[in-house]
Structure 1
Amino acid sequence: MLKKLEAENHAQPFRGPFTITRVLPGGILGNKTADPAFGSLANIDHAVMKKGLTIKMHEHVNDEILSYVGSGVMHHKDSAGFEASIARGKLMMMNAGASFWHEEKVKDDEVEMLQIFVRPNETNLSSEIQFHDKPVDNRNWYVMVGPEGSEAPLYVRQNVYILDAHPKAGEELEVPTYDGHKPILYVMNGEITLQGLTIGKQEAVTDLVNPLPPLVANEDTTIVLFFVDRNAPMSMEGTISGLRQE
């Protein structure tokens, strides 16, 4: 049975030049529990960052963070000595591990991006950073992230896969499957329909029993698809990924 996470349920812990809509994927299950995650997929921060914004150097511990930019350019600097401009098609994975510091700046047009937080399988792993250039308008699925040892270009220390697609209005797209994993599909921008169920911007859909059915894009759409092993061990010590509901 399809389950939908509606946009009206999301909190906004930050508003103003740096606005975060915090998507807690566990809410799609309808459980009123202390843990808002979908297995090790802790949260999706859908951020809008205004021109001139600087988020000063700050620390993450035990967070695996994928930065996925939809528009604009975010300038990154970190404790490992890397500086990079992150834009559409330029992915960044911060495997924070025991400690990782980074800073973000927006110098020009505003940035819309996702920061996707995954709980690692162990606490206090090594601190690493990865970058990958991908197609910007792939209409079919592109595998961006997978577990260590998989064929994905970026790895996460967890049994999670992350894909994206950019179907055009009117196009139909089959949804793949991964054995032992449950899907959750997030609409960053646009709108899709699955079996008569409409999923719009900042909404998500899952089915814990059956594979997700084919989707139709009602307009040009950006979608991010997660496959999560909900039984995998995970650290609850993350700076952001370890947060629970009060």
Structure 2
Amino acid sequence: MLQKLFADKHKQPYKGYFTITRVHPGDIVDQKFHDTAFGPLSVIDHAVMKKGLTIKMHEHMNDEILSYVYKGTSNHKDSSGLDTPIFPGKLMMMNAGSSFWHEEKVKNEDVEMLQIFVRPREADLEPRIQFHEKEVANRNWYVMVGPEDSQTPLYVRNNVYILDAHPKKGDVLDIPVYPELVPFLYVLDGEVAIDDVQLNPKEAVTDLDNPLPAITAIEDTTVVLFFVDMDAAMTMSGTISGNASN
């Protein structure tokens, strides 16, 4: 059965020059007491950062963080010595592990982006950072992230895949199937229909038991698709990903 996560479910822990809409994927599950994560997929921060903003150097531990910039350019600086821009099509994965520090600056234009937090399989792994450049407007699915042995462009240290697509109005996209993994579809921008369910920005859909039907783009749309091992081993010690009350 299709289950929908509505946009009005989300909280905004930060507002102003740095506005975060914090999506807890586990809120899609209709039960009174549950982890706010969806397996090891813990948090999706849908962020808007205004020109001139600096998020000062700060530490993450045991968070796997995909930075997916949708609009604008954010300048990333970190404890490994890197100082580089990230922008639409340039993906960044911070595997924070035992400790990783980073800073973000918005110099020239407002930025809209997702920061996606995944719980690693265990605590205190080696900290690493990865980058990958991809097509900006792929109309069909592009596999961005997978487990370490998956040969995807970026890896996360758990059994999670992350894909994106930018279908145009009227496009119909079949949803792939990853055996034993559960799909979770998030609409970043635009509008799609899946069976009789309509999804607007910051809304999501899943089916815990069956593959998802095809989606139809009602307008030009950006969607991010996750496949998650709901029974994966994971650590709860992440700075953001491990804190279910965030």
TM-score (norm 1): 0.99
- For residue 11 of structure 2, what is the amino acid of its counterpart? A
| Consecutive aligned runs of 4 or more in structure 1 exceeding 4 Å deviation | none
Match of 2:103 in 1: 103
Are the equivalent residues in 2 in contact too, given 1:184–1:204 (CA < 8 A)? yes
Match of 1:120 in 2: 120
Secondary structure, counterpart of 1:8 in structure 2: helix
Offset at 1:243?
0.8
Write out per-residue CA displacement over residues 154-173 of structure 1, whole angstroms, 9 at most, x where no aligned residue: 00000000000000001100
Secondary structure, counterpart of 2:113 in structure 1: strand
| Correspondence list, 1:19-30, <5 A | 19-30=19-30
Give the Cα–Cα distance (whole angstroms) in 2 for the partners of residues 45 and 173 of structure 1: 25
Secondary structure, counterpart of 1:109 in structure 2: coil
Give the Cα–Cα distance (whole angstroms) in 1 for the partners of residues 32 and 73 of structure 2: 37
Offset at 1:32?
2.6
Give the Cα–Cα distance (whole angstroms) in 2 for the partners of residues 3 and 34 of structure 1: 16
Give the Cα–Cα distance (whole angstroms) in 2 for the partners of residues 232 and 35 of structure 1: 14
| Correspondence list, 1:148-159, <5 A | 148-159=148-159
- For residue 80 of structure 1, what is the amino acid of its counterpart? S
Gaps of 5+ in 1: none
Match of 1:4 in 2: 4
Offset at 1:34?
5.0
Q: Percent of pairs identical after alignment? A: 64
Match of 2:52 in 1: 52
| Correspondence list, 1:161-172, <5 A | 161-172=161-172
Give the Cα–Cα distance (whole angstroms) in 1 for the partners of residues 4 and 13 of structure 2: 22
Match of 2:210 in 1: 210
Secondary structure, counterpart of 1:163 in structure 2: strand
Gaps of 5+ in 2: none
User: RMSD over aligned Cα, in angstroms?
Assistant: 0.8
Give the Cα–Cα distance (whole angstroms) in 2 for the partners of residues 88 and 187 of structure 1: 16
TM-score (norm 2): 0.99
Write out per-residue CA displacement over residues 16-68 of structure 1, whole angstroms, 9 at most, x where no aligned residue: 00000000000001123252000000010000000000000000000000000
Give the Cα–Cα distance (whole angstroms) in 2 for the partners of residues 175 and 204 of structure 1: 14
